[in-house]
């Protein structure tokens, strides 16, 4: 029996019957979180049309777009590329490029979350707007958090060491 440790904490072993469905369930969960994030933001966008005191501009859209782009970049990298350690004349430096790309994706995710918190603070909390208008500001933060969680879920599921992985074959 092999033991898997993450940050010196032993992960519980899943029964073999759950291994087959873990990949699909995690993918569906990630898609649901991503959709929920954009759904919440669109709810705030529609609600903002009923208030004359607030107008959503491009700055309100930017954190969600940055988080979505960061999710795409982060989850396009295979974990096996990060484990390569080829230094020297014969190596392609692919591991370093993959690490840089992963860093850019995570920076976009973090920047989107920080941007949504900044917009919430500057545009909604400091002017002390009404509670129903404050909800519009929270939709951007909830969107960024949901996309961040979706990205983490998809990364964990697709980079796990389980046997069932998607292999696309063109016929």
pLDDT tens string 55-111:
888 999 999 999 999 999 999 988 777 776 655 555 667 778 888 999 999 999 999
| Confidence label for 130 from pLDDT (cuts 50, 70 and 90) | confident
Determine which of 84-88, 136-140, 157-161 has the lowest per-residue pLDDT on average.
84-88
Of 21 and 31, the structure prediction assigns the larger pLDDT to 31
Which residue, among 25, 29, 9, has the nearest Cα to 17 in the 3D structure? Answer: 25
**Would the pLDDT of 38 be above 90?**
yes
Does the pLDDT of residue 39 top 70, yes or no? yes
pTM of the entire predicted model: 0.80
Average pLDDT across the chain, whole number:
82
What pLDDT is attached to residue 152?
93
Predicted local confidence at residue 148, as pLDDT: 96
31 falls in which pLDDT band (50, 70, 90)? very high
């Amino acid at each position: 029996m092999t033991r898997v440790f993450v940050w010196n904490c032993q992960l519980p072993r899943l029964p073999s019957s759950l291994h087959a469905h873990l990949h699909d369930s995690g993918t569906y969960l990630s898609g649901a979180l991503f959709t929920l994030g954009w759904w919440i933001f669109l709810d705030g966008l529609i609600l903002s049309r009923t208030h004359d005191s607030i107008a959503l501009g491009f700055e309100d859209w930017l954190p969600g777009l940055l988080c979505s782009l960061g999710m795409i970049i982060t989850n396009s990298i295979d974990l096996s590329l990060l484990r390569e350690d080829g230094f020297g004349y014969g190596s392609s430096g692919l591991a370093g490029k993959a690490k840089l790309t992963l860093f850019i994706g995570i920076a976009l995710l973090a920047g989107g979350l920080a941007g949504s918190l900044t917009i919430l603070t500057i545009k909604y909390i400091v002017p002390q707007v009404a509670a129903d208008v404050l909800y519009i500001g929270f939709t951007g933060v909830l969107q960024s958090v949901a996309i961040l969680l979706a990205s983490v879920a998809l990364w964990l599921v697709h980079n796990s060491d389980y046997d069932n992985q998607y292999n696309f074959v063109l016929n």
